[in-house]
Each structure stands twice: as C-alpha cells, then as structure tokens.
Amino acid sequence: MSWWKILDASVLLLCASMYLGTGWSLVLFSFPGRDKLTVDNYYDQFVPPVERATKFFTWMTTVMMAAAIVLIVADWHSAYVIAPAVLLAGVIAATALTVKFIFPYNKRMEGHIRDPAELQVVLGKWIRLNWIRTLLWTGQWIAITSWFAVRLG
C-alpha cells in the first residue's frame, strides 16, 4: 500500500480522534456538571470555549472531508471504500446537526441568558443534541479505525 494512503488515513484518524475525545470529554466530564451552571457562571465556562472549538473544528472538518474524498477515490473499485465513505457520511451528518440544530442554541447562550429556567431548557436541548453528535463522532472513529484494521491487519 502506498505511503500517501497511510498518511491520508492517518490524518483522518487524528481528526476523528479529536472529535471522539471532545465528544466523550463533554459526556463524561462536562454534562454531569450541568446542575452547577447558573445564569451568573455559565457564560465564561461555555461561550469562549465553544467559540474556539467552532473555529478549530470548522477548519478540521474541511480537512476531514477532503481527506475522506481522496481515500474514497483511491479505493473506489474495492470494498476498502466503505470505511472512508462511512466516515464522510458521519462528518456530513454531524456538520448538518451542528449547523442546523446546535448553533442556534450556541447563539442563545452567547446572548447572556438571564432566566434560570430558560438556561436549563437550552442546556438540556444542547446536551441531547451533543449526545447524538458524540455518537456520530464515535462512528467516524470506528470507521477509520476499521480501515486500518482491514488494510494493515
């Protein structure tokens, strides 16, 4: 197998691992602290990190889509195309979920929510959507890891 395919797939593995770690870090460490967030303290804990993550992951998602397409084209006439195709579908699904459903809640939280009940409703919906996104990110990681297992195993 050519070195550039391994390099391309390695970039995908790196990016998928970043998403996997981010998602499961939220689930395991951030979501359980939801009840400690108030209208007085949520903004600094939530908004700046989400803004930084959005900038970084927008760039990274573009790299992932390009790298997945390269691997799909390279493996087009073989069953090896399945893993990068599944990964690409997961990236597209997670991106659509983020843009269509999660970003509106990010914007509401950027607006300095002052009503405690509204904050809890927004956080609850944001957390549920991020559970779905974490599962999509997990699927992306499983897909590219499977590519390595089949190709190099």
Domain residue spans of the chain? 3-152
pTM above 0.85, yes or no: yes
Q: Mean pLDDT across the stretch 10-30?
A: 98
39-86 tens-digit pLDDT? 999 999 999 999 999 999 999 999 999 999 999 999 999 999 999 999
Cα dist. 88→18, 71, 109, 125 in Å? 15, 10, 30, 26
Average pLDDT, the chain: 97
Helix 3-25 / helix 42-74 crossing angle, nearest 10 deg: 150
pLDDT tops 90 at residue 153: no
Distance between CA atoms of residues 131 and 43, nearest Å = 21
Is the alpha carbon torsion for 127, 129, 132, 134 positive or negative?
A: negative
Q: Could you say which DSSP state residue 40 is in?
A: T
Q: Which two tokens stand for residue 84?
A: 């990068």
92-105 tens-digit pLDDT? 999 999 999 999 99
